[in-house]
Structure 1
Amino acid sequence: MQTELSTISIFVTVVEAGNFSHAAEQLHLTRSAVSKSIARLEERLGVSLFKRTTRTLSLTDEGTLFYEHSRRALTEINTAESLLDQGKISATGLLRISAPVLFGQLYIAPLMVELGQQHPDLQVELSLNDRTIDLVEDGFDLAIRIGTLADTSHLIARKLGDHRMLLCATPTYLQKSGPVHTLDDLQSHTTIAYPYSGHLQKWHLQDENKQDYAVKPNAKFMLNDMQAIKHTVLAHHGIAWLPDWLIHNELHDGSLVQVLARFSSVYFPIHVVWPRLAYMPLKTRLAIDQLITILPSQLKL
């Protein structure tokens, strides 16, 4: 049953002052006003909070329980008011996040470590897994999803950027092996591909006119780790199809160049998603703010 905060504050003051008269002096109220407030509180709660005699005032068992919880609640409220007065907003507790392995390592982990450093009482758990988890069932506060979202009626989503796959190689490899002018030219080049369940997946490409193409690479090297494929490409061993966010810096500094630049995969959205709840914890809101403020600019080529 909800009670007025001011009445609870009066109750706590009476307990700590030892009697109604001393509490009234501290609160700048009459003894009668304090007594009536306690009587109304007891009526709302349906219990007696004090054992009263002509000379002493002591707590009942119910009063002791109510005091202990009320004291903690008022302390938390005072702390919150103090933080607001200081212009500080601090998150506490455990923040659990799920993200794809490689994307999480490169982009999500640094941002969440930074968030944890900004909030000393916040504990951050980042679970890196390429499977789609159930946030509510698995107990996560938020997750990063790459690709078209499934039915998310029970989730809220905010787009962070886009993901696409690009053909790339080093200038040294292309000088040694010759230029690539058409998709057919790929068959005469060394390619490095990602196998899935023991099978090579086709490279699904789209040109500037939105025409779709599917190329099955005749791969010399097959590696089931995108970072390993990237390192192999950087060592001048061939052409690969890699996420744009993975080779962002290398395209900028020229250590990698895009092959057949008019072709790329379709764009897939990158979202942060979280459970649809009546109340969003501060830790979750601050994590989402961190992601939507910083990540979009990091993902732009």
Structure 2
Amino acid sequence: MEQLKGIAIFVETVEAGGFSAAAKKLNLTRSAVGKTIARLEERLGVRLFHRTTRSQSLTEEGRFFYERCLRAVEEIRLGEALLESGRREVRGKLRVTMPVLFGRHCAAPILTALLDEHPGLELDLAFNDRIVDLVEDGFDFAIRNGPLKDNPDLTARVIARQRMTVCASPAYLEKHGVPQTLEDLAHHEAIVYRRGNQDRPWIFPTESGSAREIFPTSRLRLDDLASIADAAVAGRGLAWLTCWLARDRVASGELVRVLTDIPANIFEAYAVWPKSPVMLPKVRLAIDTLAKELPPLME
């Protein structure tokens, strides 16, 4: 049992980011956490942490051991969740990674509202546009936009469908005219989203079901969608934005939607989590809530 206690404290130390943070969470002294880790290292015959006066970081052996300990701890957590599944209260730490802009404006407000209804729930939300390894980085699930790559180790569920729209400021349209067809885009300035040294095309569905990609003329390329919306408001050109991002600016009159008679591209937002025979109640609650409350925000 002492060995299991040492492993649990080790995992908590890694997840908390250091001895002091783990001690506070476990209601122990920093010295007690440090001694437990030291005993564990002595028993294993390896050093698990690089230590300085200010911080601790995992050694290569520590990372290897953590990945395997985490699996065992998750099995224990799963067993606890199964026993608690019939109870109303959802408890425990829920770690979620999500795209920065979509997370900040759409997903995070919905998830944080769960804290009011579930006092035993803790949230750890990470905003990052890169694809992370859910198991290695210790996340319960991720929110991801756009097509997913096949991965037999992951389960995915559509939680929202996002519609795109082309917008511009009234001043820009007064000066340059309102485009009526996709061909008209060739005669306009556009603000282009650039990612990974590549300009991202504007995509429009066709009657045949295929996608038409357009690379509009542009003198302004940005890797941040919120900045693209701001530049469009400033009259810098046409912008291809998600409807939820443009909505408030359209409502205020700062932007005007154009090409509204042309079918809009729609892409999915997914919740993605490690495949498991049973979904933890906290994960099910969060994903069910997102799937219910996100769609009305997408228009």
TM-score, with length taken from structure 2: 0.64
Distance 1:174 1:289 in 2: 41
Distance 1:227 1:264 in 2: 23
1:144-174 C-alpha deviation (Å, 9 max, x unpaired): 1212222243333221121243221123321
Q: What's the offset of the Cα at 1:124?
A: 0.6
**167-176 or 247-256: bigger deviation:** 247-256
Q: Is the 8 A contact 2:160 2:291 kept in 1?
A: no
1:129 and 2:128 correspond: yes
**Structure 1 pair 122–265 and aligned structure 2 pair: CA distance change class (3 A):** same
Q: Which has the larger radius of gyration?
A: 1
1:174 and 2:173 correspond: yes
1:38-81 C-alpha deviation (Å, 9 max, x unpaired): xxxxxxxxxxxxxxxxxxxxxxxxxxxxxxxxxxxxxx9xxx79
Match of 2:247 in 1: 248
Matches within 5 A, 1:161-200: 161-200=160-199
Distance 1:270 1:160 in 2: 6
Match of 2:215 in 1: 216
- How many pairs were matched up? 217
The residue type equivalent to 2:216 in the other structure is P
Q: What's the offset of the Cα at 1:115?
A: 1.2
Distance 1:267 1:179 in 2: 23
Q: Is the 8 A contact 1:92 1:119 kept in 2?
A: yes
Distance 1:221 1:266 in 2: 22
Matches within 5 A, 1:99-110: 99-110=98-109
Distance 2:193 2:90 in 1: 40
Distance 2:197 2:275 in 1: 38
Q: What's the offset of the Cα at 1:209?
A: 5.8
**Structure 1 pair 121–265 and aligned structure 2 pair: CA distance change class (3 A):** same
**Structure 1 pair 208–259 and aligned structure 2 pair: CA distance change class (3 A):** farther
**156-165 or 233-242: bigger deviation:** 156-165
Q: Is the 8 A contact 1:164 1:264 kept in 2?
A: no
1:202-254 C-alpha deviation (Å, 9 max, x unpaired): 32323456464332222122221100010111222210111223213334555
Aligned-partner SS, 2:218 = coil
Distance 1:278 1:212 in 2: 37
Distance 1:139 1:123 in 2: 15
Q: Is the 8 A contact 1:208 1:263 kept in 2?
A: no
Aligned-partner SS, 1:247 = helix
Aligned-partner SS, 1:246 = helix
Distance 1:262 1:209 in 2: 17
Q: What's the offset of the Cα at 1:120?
A: 2.3
Matches within 5 A, 1:251-266: 251-252=250-251, 254-263=253-262, 266=265
Q: What's the offset of the Cα at 1:125?
A: 0.8
1:282 and 2:281 correspond: yes
Matches within 5 A, 1:26-45: none
Distance 1:202 1:217 in 2: 8
Distance 1:170 1:209 in 2: 32
Match of 2:159 in 1: 160
Match of 2:267 in 1: 268
Identity of aligned residues (%): 39
Distance 1:212 1:150 in 2: 19
The residue type equivalent to 1:157 in the other structure is A
Match of 1:295 in 2: 294
Q: Is the 8 A contact 1:165 1:264 kept in 2?
A: no
Distance 1:152 1:128 in 2: 22
In the alignment, structure 2 segments of 5+ residues that lack a partner are 1-79
The residue type equivalent to 1:167 in the other structure is V
The residue type equivalent to 2:240 in the other structure is W
Q: What's the offset of the Cα at 1:175?
A: 1.8
Q: What's the offset of the Cα at 1:114?
A: 0.8
Q: Is the 8 A contact 1:162 1:268 kept in 2?
A: yes
Q: What's the offset of the Cα at 1:283?
A: 1.6
In the alignment, structure 1 segments of 5+ residues that lack a partner are 1-75
1:65-99 C-alpha deviation (Å, 9 max, x unpaired): xxxxxxxxxxx9xxx79x96xxxx22222110011
Matches within 5 A, 1:60-79: none
Distance 2:278 2:184 in 1: 56
